[in-house]
Chain A
Amino acid sequence: MNELSSVDRPNSYIGRSVPRPNAKRLVAGRGQYVDDLRLPRMVHVAFLRSPHAHARILSIDSAAARAAPGVVRVVTGAEMAEVCTPWVGVLHHLKGLKSAPQHALAVDRACWQGEPVVAVVARTRAEAEDAVGLVEVAWGELPATVDMEAALAEGTPVIHPALGDNLAFMREHVGGEPDACFADAESVVVQATFHTGRHTGVCLEGRAILADYNPAEGRLTAYHSNQAPHMMQTVFAKHLGLREGDVRVICRDVGGSYGIKVHVYPDEMATAALSKILGRPVKFSADRMEGMVSDIHARDHRIAARAAVTKDGVITAMEIDDLTGIGPYSVYPRTSAVEGNQVVNLCGGPYALRGYKARTTVVFQNKTPTCQYRAVGHPIATTVTEGLVDLAAEAIGMDPAELRRRNLLADDVYPFKNHANLSFEGLSHQACLTKLLAMMDYEALKAERDALRAKGVYRGIGIASFIELTNPSPFMYGIGGARISAMDGATVRLDPDGSVAIASGVTEQGQGTEAMLAQIVAGAVGVDIARVRVTTGDTETTPYGGGTWASRGAGIGGEAALQAGHALREQILVIAGAMLQAAPEALDVRGGAVVDRATGAERLPLEELGRIVYFRGDTLPKDLPRELVATRHYTPKDYPFAFTNGAQASYLEVDVETGFVTLLKHWCVEDCGTVINPMLVDEQIRGGVVQGLGGALLEHCVYSPEGQLLSGSLADYLLPMSGEMPDIQVAHVETPTKESALGAKGAGEAGTAGAPAAVQNAINDALRPFGARVFAQPFTPARILTALGKI
């Protein structure tokens, strides 16, 4: 923490595991999730969704629904289109990305099973659902394009004829001299085709919105389970014909998000539009079944990949050919091309390659749209990269940890730009790997594995190094034309009782955003953390900002809060200097009081300063500034992204008779720069790891050839349960970013980025005596038994 003298003051909470101020409310059942809120005259909407993957809407008969008890209004796509304009999910900097206009309710044609088609508003949700059952839609089924491998083939139906074909986006990148590396006669080339299974976030609180349009004011207030309130303010305004200033988005407690709740969803847009139509509050709360077909899915990729390695252990090149199916529309406004684009950016990222070649092909299909889910593209890239590294190690007969040690970027090469054109300010791959191997006692674990193998118990060890994109600058979305702020602000205010209020543009979905902000500001101002309270998630009362996604909350929102806290302290000291007839530089704020900087002797409690400023300003010099509130903003400027890094390991046992995998232990060492709250960071890592393990072993959106989701309930879609998850040991290396005084980089996605790769490598290590390998996630018992030749 030596570099951090500016934050390492008395009352500093940086680096301390402080409990979250909002947790007490949540354990008492006093959260305020959207579905908990009710407003006068509130009505509920339920949606008739397409039962077909692709079908023409020939006619809609809603007479019976309109006459049903409690029904207030039935709205079709054509009627909705008069109130809510369609959107197109493209970004200019993703060159060539195309998509078709998407409506809040399908007009003429539905393009995936689950697309909302008719909205029914009634006094209760139950009555709305009853009436949905009475709406008669005559469907004309159309051939569905389901298999992404066939999406571009001759004869496959083109989903949007106006676009010409089913290709949404393609990007090819070549860096260095990959062809020469692969042609080198002295090198060994290893290859495999990887599949990452389509899965989704399953936030325990489904998506929800309570939209309240007040026609008297012409203003919309949306209580929204969402990560990016300012982005939604823009979107609602633009597509409902309102001014941004007439839209207020409030995100109170959010019951899980993980990137699922940062996108524009047609049913949520329809709900806001219905409130405008009806002039009264309308609530939509997605139930689990409709969430499974309408929340964004992710990670539906097939990646053919190869790597060249010299016989003495230098990995020289990687080549990646990625194909991904994104559903019928690129999701607005972040687009569905980012995931494939990230695969191109991130593969091979931890390594000092001489050549790199990558391509992503992003195609339309008639399945639920995909978009950014926690650790966007990272688990895919890490699975491919680390799978290739293990294959290379096996091919040349080298220990996989040793091969990594020889090829990971050295810790002293930074700043460094790699062949994917990523710029790294400072990473710690070698230090993380060293710490990981020590933490897991790698040599002892290998000995145990080998001893058990001799007894017919098949255990495996898998390691995965990774990089993680955090703290995105405007290069992520802003340059592509999306009004998604890369900047965040914080306002910090001293109230007369000596307490401090923070309002921040970053948002809280359980990560501990509010704790992090309170810790930073308490230290920056010089007060006990118990005197600090935090407001987030309200476009009307917080500074403009991006919200919480892409691991940006602490690094960007935290830095803004730090600067605002420092500014408030300076304001306090100027006023205190005048009151105490002392030089401000000779004073400090500690423990909620102005003190003598040199001796620490208390001179003036903040509540006394507050009393004088607010109630007895007549006693202060006339020209003395009296501001006790400061706002500061921060946006990263030196680097497009603050990359972080880490290494994970998995130890597991495969039952070669049943194909079942038992996870025994998981380790993660990661480097998010300055650790503000070790406990919260560790829990971000652990939660992220388990979401990665879910995708690796359990979670799968399985579709029929006709485009019907076959795993659309939680009885069919398997989620990690506590009984099958391992203990997860977490450690850190700290390489603070020099871009900010705080030095914090993101930590929210590191766990998810590396876990599937570690598990893949561990399973293949366990299967090595049988010459069997699996590369298709989820690694189900059936797939493992197939690899073993047993079924």
Chain B
Amino acid sequence: MKFTLSWLKEHLETDATIDEIVEAMTLAGLEVEAVENPAEKLADFTIAHVTHTEKHPDADKLTVCTVDTHEGTKTIVCGAPNARAGIAVAYAGLGTYIPGLDFSLDKKPRKIRGVESFGMMCSTRELEMGEDHDGILELDPKDHTIGTPIAEAVGMNDPVIDFEVTPNRPDWLGVNSIARDLAAAGLGTIITPEIKPIKGAFPCPQNVRIESTEACPAFAARVIKGVKNGPSPKWLRDKLKAIGLRPISALVDITNYVTYDRARPLHFYDRAKLSGDIIVRMGRDEKFEALDKNSYTASDQDCAICDEAGIVGLGGIVGGESSGCDETTTEIVIESAYFDPLTIRRTAKRLGVTSDAKYRFERGVDTGSLVDGVELATQLVLDICGGEASDVIVAGEIPADPSAIEFDPMLNERLTGMKLSHDEMKDILESLGFGVKLGPLWTVTVPTFRRDASEGPDLVEEIARIHGYHNLDAVSLPPLPGRREPTATLTQNRTRLARRALAQRGMSEAITWSFVLLDHAKIFDGGDDQMRLDNPISSDLDCMRPSALIHLLLAGQRNADKGYPGAALFELGPVYRGTEPEDQALSIAGMRRIETIRDWAGNTAPDALSAKADAIAALAAMGANVDNLQIGKPMGSYWHPGRSGRLQMGPKNILADFGELHPAALKALGIEGRVAAFEIWPENLPAPRKKSVSKAKAALELSEFMPVHKDFAFIVPESTNALDLIKAAKSADKALITDVSLFDIYQGKGIEDGHKSLAIDVTLTPKDATLTDKDIEIVMEKIIAGVAKAGGVLRG
């Protein structure tokens, strides 16, 4: 909402400076977004008098002028046809920035065809004050003394304030209400001119019928005949122009003026163009040409203003071309109605139409302003366009006044901690237009323009904001009694550690969009219809992601495209399998692009097992017992069929998938090369079993006896999982065998085709006595027998 300082001063008597007004607005909740004073960009331009001119000796169209300025007498070469002695002009000294041309004059005098020129005399376009460029701005030197700032001389010293109107305060869309709040905040006195009823000279000849009373409860109207339309007077045009509105004609400008002055939208119909009654009803799929040069079709959801021939406009949103006022108009119907905000909003949204009237009606227009609006408009029409007014009629029923609020005066202190006297609170409420009847509970009547106030806390806000939040004493929150539990959840703590473990392993944490391209979601086994966005921000982010890998892979490729091929990225974030809360899962996804590493120390490129190591490091950091995990096959079709695995606890609880990604999936994503990746499900990790409240660890038991190492080599079919063999060896004697480690894998000479030799080192740790040869022999036999069951033959 924009308004000018001078406009405000028509409603508020104040000595406050513009800065004080802005400060007071801000502290009262009218958040100022910009203050623009046209005078500021004109600060360097002053009045100068042209005292003498002569033709340029060397150019037909140039004049050499002698100009008296506040910096002394100057010679200025000018090309304007109206440059002549005896006029006052807008003078720009050397070095001045010319806004309309967007350049600065040289700091030194410039020779124009051999004559030195010491400045410039400007046109209105060069000053960005108008469009005139046929000649320089000329004023009467008698009215304007040398050195007067140009903004002052042309009356442009009027700051424009733009502020945010919050949706609860539609009344702020009128300058009068801004003034009321500022007066309440102590900035001045309200001087809004009273609206005087104008007696009708004849009965209103225009009948108005409301058929849809829900969409339009009330419609006040009056006819004025004998008007003469034309351009509005300068004061009105200047006012509208100053806030960025385009003056059209007196009748149109008057409706805009009242809209901004009182937040009271109006519409004027050219009565000669109406046939019969005005009928307010829902649309019947009727199309009409609107004043905004578009055509709209009103459905049965839209409030249409019609005459007996058909639709003439959308009520409260936009009028129709067919009944609009123009220079031929002599008889008008003034409409000052109340439209249902929800209907307005729905229609405007569906048709994509916006207007000053719509903006106000959808937020709620003062139900007390219907007749006042007619009267104010009448006065302006009579003053500007002449004519004779009829009686005022009101069709329908004006909505009831808002209910009074039973207000507990203690509530203010209870909610804000501010201690204010009853008088102070009462004064604030009254200055804002509320009525106060004191008592143990106050009865506070609510003005029709403040329907946002419906219960006690609303009044507390009024009292507190006018008293000022800067007067609110800050109090630190008292500590809660008793012992403090950790404030983070188990999963939060676990994922913090997992993220650190991954970063420590050389991966960088990214955060990427929760939405992906539908086709990409499908590659990752997602992309169900229900997961699609109805209104995506762009067509490549139109579906909730089924995996956090997608954007990491794309980011990796983007990095490669920029010349940084070896990205290693991970992300902690949500993935979505459905739209219910339980369908959202937390994922830690990571990927390393498989780029050949040229390293003197022999480090090689990451592979599927690097991803396994990453996943296990993260799981270990989260407290998983990684020694007891099972290896399975991932279900996703996007994993490489032969180089991917799944880490699980038991058959059902899946903790992570890892491996190389399927080349076809990568190709479909536009990823070049190969990628090793993992995706972990931290929420699947069971909570640690709580044995007791004690944090003490179990006692440490150390064996006194030396461990014994025994090596074995077993031949197994190539497809055998090494882990199966290790587990078989381990379980041969759970008490004695404390570790089994794989130290060699061999294929080739001496080993049958399709087989491999796995060499393991078994650690035996006795607890009660040193192992005898016999003991060792027994356990070795058990190991060989156990591994045999798993398909391993001791290598001879």
A and B: bona fide binding partners = no
